[in-house]
Structure 1
Amino acid sequence: MEQGIVSPRIFNDPELYSYELDRIFARCWCFVAHESEIPMPGDYVLRNIGQDQFIVVRDEDGQIRVLFNKCTHRGSPVCRVEKGNSSHFRCPYHSWVFKNNGDWSGAPYRKKAYKKLDAAAWGLAAAPHVDSVHGLIFASLDPDAPTLDDYLGGMRWYLDALLGLNDQGMRAIGEPHRWRVPANWKSGAENFMADAYHVPSLHRSAEEVGMFPNIEAGGAGPQAGSRHVYFDEGHGMIINDGFLPPPWHRSGFPPEVADTFQLDRLAPDQQLFVDNHSATTFLIFPNLGLVRVPASPHPDAPPTVFTYLRQLQPSGPDTIVNWNWTLGWNSAPDGFNEDAYVAALSMHGPAGILEQDDTVVWGGPPTAGKSVFARKSGMRFNFQLGLDGMSDYAEDTSWAFPGRATTTALGEAPQRAFYRRWLREVSTADHAENREDGQ
């Protein structure tokens, strides 16, 4: 890693993938839903952490729970509808019933069959830690996990500046879109985190058809008003200094949206950041991305900045399921949110013009990862961009905000930090694994 070299094996190795499930997805804080998807008591959605399915539900008291979707009797799913509202969940096999807070509630012939059952011991298993920030619901399956704020570190500061601009907040517009991609989840994660280098080449067609403001002039290219900010914890982002000219806000929002922002909610340094910078993309380790860029919702419309979340959900070492949520400001006119939704769908929906580019090239690493020739020839992947003066890229020691900043985005320092965090996690067994091994 210090030399910027990565083995293709990590993108398609079943043993390493099993470590990822055990030591990353079952240990880190993972995004599961947006609060606006479950606004009322009893509302629920089905979501995955790693490859385990959970019911994300607001119980009768309004508390958000993340319940393992397996009956404690024989392991059948107790919920088979992807979203809805229910006070209870019933297993179809033997009709064991559970409240929406996970408590065991009953079973057929209860008074005859389970006279001495300890009901408190047989509820649905639940994530031991659930928390949210600006509507983003996270869960950790590790009983010893740090708090969400500690896990996010300096990224929490940026979430305030990106999603906490007024007290009305944001909401998920419509249903999340999802589709399968023959790729490894890490390819998508590192791309969302910091890969500005690919934009002028891979996504040139978006500019050519008029969907994207000029790549170099608009700040989306690696050398045009962009920089990296990243953390040793594996989180990171591309920061830009403004997409569009006045009267658009620095982050690209039109006046009718920007006028609803309440910057006095923020600390003085966060206000300074919002006045001068925004984020193009970010990644919260391991697999939650965000994109905030302008695009035209239709050929005759001016650019509209959209905000969407991307969950890069693993479904095997060589398959991911992309989940997309477009977020709209509750304070914004409906017309703006509609245009933002269309712009996001056109760029990064299942048939989005940028998405088709990305999902084609992400298929390369897992193919190389299982290649006999790649293994026998000692093939390596190059993550050296920005190392040792290789490019016009250095650490910006004058950066006044959290994180380690660079002078441009023409480098791969955040990707190297991501893989260092990945390596630390997959190399470290936890207490549960030691107990399973008899240690």
Structure 2
Amino acid sequence: MARIFARCWCFVAHESEIPEPGDYVLRYIGQDQFIVVRDEDGQIHVLFNKCTHRGSTVCRVEKGNSSHFRCPYHSWVFKNTGEWSGAPYRKKAYKKLDAGSWGLASAPHVDSVHGLVFASLDPDAPTLDEYLGEMRWYLDVLLGLNDTGMTTIGEPHRWRVPANWKSGAENFMADAYHVPSLHRSAEDVGMFPRIETGGAGPQGVSRHVYFEHGHGMIVNNGFLPPPWHTSGYPPEIADTFQLDRLTPLQRQFVDNHSATTFLIFPNFGLVRVPAAPHPDAPPAVFTQLRQWQPVGPDGITNWNWTLGWKTAPEGLNEEAYVAGLSMHGPAGILEQDDTVVWGGAPQAGKSVFARKSGMR
């Protein structure tokens, strides 16, 4: 927690989750809980959810709208900027209290890119752009295809998995190798035709791309033939893209390739693949944000957001939502494959014999 999560830039929310002044959600960096809130001036703050008086949890509701937060222990009140606002019997009990020193602790760095809000707890951290490095180039071609961007659809799904967060992160960054074997059942039931060519087998078309700071992605040669265009989207969506926003190389990537998954280190991922929303329906390309939140060395909470293009017809976003959950939701066919095998590493790591035998 100290060496990685307290030093890296970590994803905390999508801007569309807190669109109005006062909107907030509760999120985590490592195992610490924060209030991600938009203040009355529209600025986003990431506030440590602990009262500066006695350490009690200040906000106990997962999401909402509030101009102030009140600690239930002694009723200390804080503005949604984190500033200390008041307390009972202030004039009698706290005559010399310096209000400016008792606000909620906040992340020293908060920034966003294409609606993705990140925070860093390290005062000496590089800028977000410096941390992302070349990954920023790919975020432009995945999430910045028009000036309206993408929005979350519904609430994030969450479920517990007996695994270590590193298994989920590595799976999305650099492991197309597992797809033809672990996910073979998806082809057997007709959900993922020719899975061998989508993985890392002898006919595979996936490529691994690695970046500085531990980021990485799996790139494929595009999803679907016409009439689907531009990274597999139908004309109703593709025609809203403003491709002149891209450089020539980015345009070439959009026309010929797509990202299957990526990881922004340490624990934030994206998956974009096609799937059928229901039997006999044509494939729909879905976009999901993923996060593997550690709850110990052998436990994680999977977080899963579905994104839709703001310019897309509502029905198409709904189809993408259903398609995504069928593959990578709490009961998704690929998700169940992954989470079953991820549990092996922490079990082996606790094994006496594994250590005695030199198992790495």
Same fold (TM over 0.5): yes
Alignment partner, residue 302 of structure 1: 282
Contact kept in structure 2, 1:250 and 1:278, CA below 8 Å? no
Query: Which residue, 304, 328, 332 being the options, matches 1:352?
Result: 332
Alignment partner, residue 426 of structure 1: none
Q: Are 1:163 and 2:143 an aligned pair?
A: yes
Query: Which residue, 233, 238, 250 being the options, matches 1:270?
Result: 250
In structure 1, give the amino acid aligned to 2:125. A
Q: Are 1:23 and 2:27 an aligned pair?
A: no
Deviation of 1:295 (Å): 0.6
Q: Are 1:64 and 2:44 an aligned pair?
A: yes
Query: Which residue, 291, 304, 312 being the options, matches 1:311?
Result: 291
Identity of aligned residues (%): 85
Deviation of 1:99 (Å): 0.2
In structure 2, give the amino acid aligned to 1:63. Q
Query: Which residue, 243, 261, 271 being the options, matches 2:223?
Result: 243
- What is the alpha-carbon distance in structure 2 between the residues aligned to residue 32 and residue 73 of structure 1? 25
Matches within 5 A, 1:168-187: 168-187=148-167
Deviation of 1:207 (Å): 1.7
Q: Secondary structure at the match of 1:22?
A: coil
Deviation of 1:213 (Å): 3.5
Structure 2 regions of 5+ residues with no counterpart? Answer: none
Deviation of 1:220 (Å): 4.1
Q: Are 1:194 and 2:174 an aligned pair?
A: yes
Aligned length: 359
- What is the alpha-carbon distance in structure 1 between the residues aligned to residue 205 and residue 52 of structure 2? 54
Alignment partner, residue 43 of structure 1: 23
Which string of whole-angstrom CA distances, capped at 9 and with x for unpartnered residues, describes residues 255-275 of structure 1?
211111101111222112111
Contact kept in structure 2, 1:213 and 1:295, CA below 8 Å? no
In structure 2, give the amino acid aligned to 1:276. N
Query: Mean Cα displacement is larger for which, 262-271 or 150-159?
Result: 262-271
Q: Secondary structure at the match of 1:358?
A: helix
**TM-score, normalized by length of structure 2?**
0.98
Query: Mean Cα displacement is larger for which, 263-272 or 285-294?
Result: 263-272
Contact kept in structure 2, 1:65 and 1:101, CA below 8 Å? yes
Which string of whole-angstrom CA distances, capped at 9 and with x for unpartnered residues, describes residues 178-226 of structure 1?
0000000001100011211111111111122222243134x34544222
Q: Secondary structure at the match of 1:233?
A: helix
Q: Secondary structure at the match of 2:176?
A: coil
Contact kept in structure 1, 2:270 and 2:288, CA below 8 Å? yes
Alignment partner, residue 207 of structure 2: 227
Contact kept in structure 2, 1:243 and 1:250, CA below 8 Å? no
- What is the alpha-carbon distance in structure 2 between the residues aligned to residue 324 and residue 220 of structure 1? 22
Query: Which residue, 66, 69, 74 being the options, matches 1:94?
Result: 74
Contact kept in structure 1, 2:153 and 2:321, CA below 8 Å? yes
Q: Are 1:54 and 2:34 an aligned pair?
A: yes
Higher relative CO (Cα under 8 Å, sequence separation at least 6) belongs to 1
C-alpha RMSD over aligned residues: 1.0
In structure 2, give the amino acid aligned to 1:110. R
- What is the alpha-carbon distance in structure 1 between the residues aligned to residue 231 and residue 210 of structure 2? 19
Which string of whole-angstrom CA distances, capped at 9 and with x for unpartnered residues, describes residues 43-87 of structure 1?
000000000000000011110000000000000011000000000
Contact kept in structure 1, 2:59 and 2:69, CA below 8 Å? yes
Q: Are 1:286 and 2:255 an aligned pair?
A: no
Contact kept in structure 1, 2:179 and 2:199, CA below 8 Å? yes
Deviation of 1:294 (Å): 0.7
- What is the alpha-carbon distance in structure 2 between the residues aligned to residue 215 and residue 257 of structure 1? 26
Q: Are 1:373 and 2:356 an aligned pair?
A: no
Contact kept in structure 2, 1:291 and 1:309, CA below 8 Å? yes
Contact kept in structure 2, 1:308 and 1:324, CA below 8 Å? yes
Which string of whole-angstrom CA distances, capped at 9 and with x for unpartnered residues, describes residues 258-304 of structure 1?
11110111122211211111101000000101000011110120111
Query: Which residue, 84, 95, 103 being the options, matches 1:115?
Result: 95
- What is the alpha-carbon distance in structure 2 between the residues aligned to residue 24 and residue 233 of structure 1? 11
Alignment partner, residue 411 of structure 1: none
Contact kept in structure 1, 2:177 and 2:199, CA below 8 Å? no
Contact kept in structure 2, 1:206 and 1:354, CA below 8 Å? yes
